[in-house]
Chain A
Amino acid sequence: MAGDKVSFTVNEGEIFGFIGPNGAGKTTTIKTLLGLLFPTSGKAEVLGKPAGDIQAKQRISYLPESPYFYEHMTGAEVLDFYCRLFKMNAATRRKRVPELLEQVGLSRDGQRALRQYSKGMLQRIGIAQALINEPDLLFFDEPTSGLDPIAHKDIQDLILSQRKQGKTVFLSSHQLSDVENVCDRVAIINRGELVKMGSMDELLHAGRTIITVSHPGSDLVAKVQPLSEHISQDGEFTKFYTQTEENVHKIIDAVRGQATLVSVVPQRQTLEDLFVEIVREGRH
């Protein structure tokens, strides 16, 4: 992989989130993978081929951030142009272009010039052009940036539908909610460095569980104390924090009969929290 210190693998058929603050090196990484930029050292391979390889490009696609396209053309003309780049013949193109428009929900707008398109529609055209070759691997760079909530949702759905078809999507974003909702795995990079990587569950479920107990006796507190990392008093409630599932069960067993168990809440950390935490750490 490319970049200075970025190294990762993407599994087939997953949506791989690639997040980091602006300027973290997301786009650079993608461009390197596409062969638009050249790695200063090391090598970039995609689908087992060196980055930029023509054969590899047959099987991948790319949607840059906020593309504009040739605004004098209609949606259909733009797609026709991109189809030509895959050397599709006229008959194939005639079939493929309406399919693509259909796929991104622009069937009725295909004959309108792009300058009349909204930002969301342009983005759909962008996705449509990325789908022409039914790629195995799609690179989406900030696909939802600058979109209104409805368009945002539509684009997310489009991305999710790709996974259903068994495609691998490489999604870069600084919009964490995007990634959180759709990605299987996430890599977080900051300042050109890979900071953290894992499945959504690995990254987020590694949180703590809070067991809230009403009026525990001091014996009980003493008994549970070794199992919890932290104990806090909140009025009549005492909260026990623990990391592992095993300890959760042990604490529940201990509490049972001794006091009233009010709640057991697994503290699922949001990606946002994780991200902020990581970026902060990076600053120190």
Chain B
Amino acid sequence: MIIWAIARTTVGDALRKKILQVFIVVAIGLIVLSLSFSQTLSFSSQRGASSDFMLLKSFGLGMMALAGIFISLILGVTLIPQEFERRTIYTILAKPVKRYEFITGKFLGAILTLGIATGLMGITFILTIVIKAIGAQQLSASPTLGQMLGSTTEKVAIFDWNMVWGVILVYLQFMVLSSIVLLFSLIFTQTVNFFMGAAVYAVGFMSTVVISLGGAEGANVALQLFYKTISYVLPRFDQFNIPNQLLHPETQVTNMGAYTGMMALYGLLYTLLALVAAILIFERKEV
């Protein structure tokens, strides 16, 4: 109950951050605006409506990811230091609140805030696609227009489950990122932490590079092992970003629901790891 009280307050507080609101509103605005994108903007070959969709989906997922990464970083970086600035942490810890309850509440608050932000963006995103799909269907249903557009006009499904998985995967990576940054915020100053967090994301996102470094022929065996180990321990942000699979439901190599489930487990464990580490550190931290 204490944890929940802290989490709730954190959410209310976080959602009122101006910078957060700006990110969410801009992201949502751009996602809606992306309705107007057509293949003229696309670098893809002409494939009619489906190429427009590809851009729309890719842009939407990317927009969410980008806005969310910033939100995650900002939240993770500021949530705990702000408690010090406002001295609320002292009043809270002077109450019969255990330190782990405070930290857990903050983690939960960050995760919930990100959930709300992703939810808002995600619903907009999926609605945008549905609207576009309905538009495309009406277009191809009209015989004359259909002819004008040529045979490339393909029938587009109204609702695409893959986008739901996409939004969930996007959210999961925010959860992991903000947890790591929250953990770091107990150790580093805000500026340092922001860049550390961004670096962790970048490295995790590019972990295949690390892996290919490890796999390079002639590489030192110890070094190979080192890279391999790193690739297993790093938060694998690349694994949350799988546009090819999401944009190509016809090339279903794996059950997306199951994959998302596995990634959710992965993300939760990672978050839990950051939380437990944070508890251990905070327990010994002078406030």
Interface residues of A (CB under 8 A from B): 31, 34-38, 54-55, 57-58, 60-70, 72-73, 81-82, 84-87, 126, 129-130, 132-133, 139
Whether A67 pairs with B87 at a CB distance below 8 angstroms is yes
Closest 6 CB pairs of A and B: A62-B94, A84-B5, A68-B86, A64-B87, A85-B95, A57-B96
Q: Evaluate whether A87 and B2 lie within 8 angstroms (CB atoms) in the complex, with A36-B286, A54-B96, A81-B9 already known.
A: yes
**Residue from the list A31, A70, A86 in contact with B88, Cβ < 8 A:** A70
Of the candidates A31, A73, A85, the one whose C-beta lies within 8 Å of that of B2 is A85
Number of interface residues of B (CB under 8 A): 23
Minimum CB–CB distance from A111 to chain B (whole Å) comes to: 16
Cβ of B286 and Cβ of A38 under 8 Å apart? yes
- Contact A70:B92 (CB < 8 A) given known A36-B287, A85-B5: no
CB distance from B79 to the nearest CB of A (A): 12
State whether A82 touches B2 (Cβ < 8 A): no
Q: Are B96 and A36 in contact (CB under 8 A)?
A: no
- Please name all residues of chain B whose beta carbon is closer than 8 Å to the beta carbon of A72 when the two chains form the complex: 12-13, 16
Instruction: Assess whether A34 is in contact with B2, with CB atoms less than 8 Å apart.
Output: no
What are the residues of chain B within 8 A of A55 when measuring CB–CB? 96
Q: Which residues of B contact A64 (CB under 8 A)?
A: 87, 90-91
CB pair A70 B287 closer than 8 Å: no
> Complex formed: what's the CA distance from A178 to B286 in Å?
29
Report the bound CA distance from A54 to B94 in whole Å.
9
Q: Let me know if B91 and A37 touch, CB within 8 A.
A: no
| Contact between B13 and A70, CB atoms less than 8 A apart | yes
A72-B6 Cα distance, complex, nearest whole Å: 15
Task: Tell me whether A82 and B94 are in contact (CB under 8 A).
Answer: no
| B148 CB-CB contact with A under 8 Å | no
A51 to B134, CA, bound (A): 65
Residues on B close to A: CB < 8 A?
1-2, 5-6, 9, 12-13, 16, 85-88, 90-98, 286-287
Chain B residues with Cβ below 8 Å from A34 are 90, 93-94
- Pair A36/B9 contact, Cβ less than 8 Å: no
Enumerate chain A residues within 8 angstroms of B92, measured Cβ to Cβ.
82, 85
- A36→B2 contact, CB < 8 A: no
* B286 CB contact (under 8 Å) in A37, A63, A66, A73: A37
- A to B contact number (C-beta, < 8 Å): 82
In the complex formed, the residue of B with least CB distance to A59 is B96
A60 touches B94 (CB 8 A): yes
**Minimum CB distance partner of B101 in chain A:** A85
Which chain B residue lies CB-closest to A68?
A: B86
Given contacts A36-B286, A67-B88, A68-B87, contact A86 B95 (CB under 8 A): yes
Besides A36-B93, A54-B98, A57-B96, 5 other CB < 8 A contacts?
A57-B94, A57-B95, A64-B90, A86-B96, A87-B1
Q: Is the CB of A67 within 8 A of B86?
A: yes
Interface pairs (28), CB distance under 8 Å: A34-B93, A37-B286, A37-B287, A55-B96, A57-B97, A58-B96, A61-B95, A62-B91, A62-B94, A64-B87, A64-B91, A66-B87, A67-B87, A67-B90, A68-B86, A68-B88, A70-B12, A70-B88, A72-B16, A73-B12, A85-B2, A85-B6, A86-B96, A126-B91, A129-B91, A130-B91, A132-B95, A139-B94
B87 contacts which chain A residues (CB < 8 A)? 64-68
Cα(A67)–Cα(B242), bound, Å: 46
- Pair B90/A31 contact, Cβ less than 8 Å: yes
A73 to B10 Cα, complex, angstroms: 11
* Closest Cβ neighbor of A34 among chain B residues: B94
A88's closest neighbor in chain B, by CB? B1
CB-based contact A67/B91 at 8 Å: yes
**Separation in Å of the B77 CB from the closest CB of chain A?**
18
Given the known interface contacts A72-B12, A87-B1, the answer about A36 and B91 at a Cβ–Cβ threshold of 8 Å is no
How far does the alpha carbon of A85 sit from the alpha carbon of B2 in the complex, in Å?
5
User: Once the chains are docked, how many angstroms separate the CA of A34 from the CA of B91?
Assistant: 10
A86 to B87, CA, bound (A): 19
Interface centre among B90, B286, B287 (most CB of A within 10 A): B90
User: CA A86 – CA B88 in complex, angstroms?
Assistant: 15
Within the complex, what minimum Cβ distance (angstroms) separates B279 from chain A? 16
> What's the Cα separation between A57 and B93 when bound, in Å?
9
Q: A residues within 8 A CB of B91?
A: 62-64, 67, 69, 82, 126, 129-130
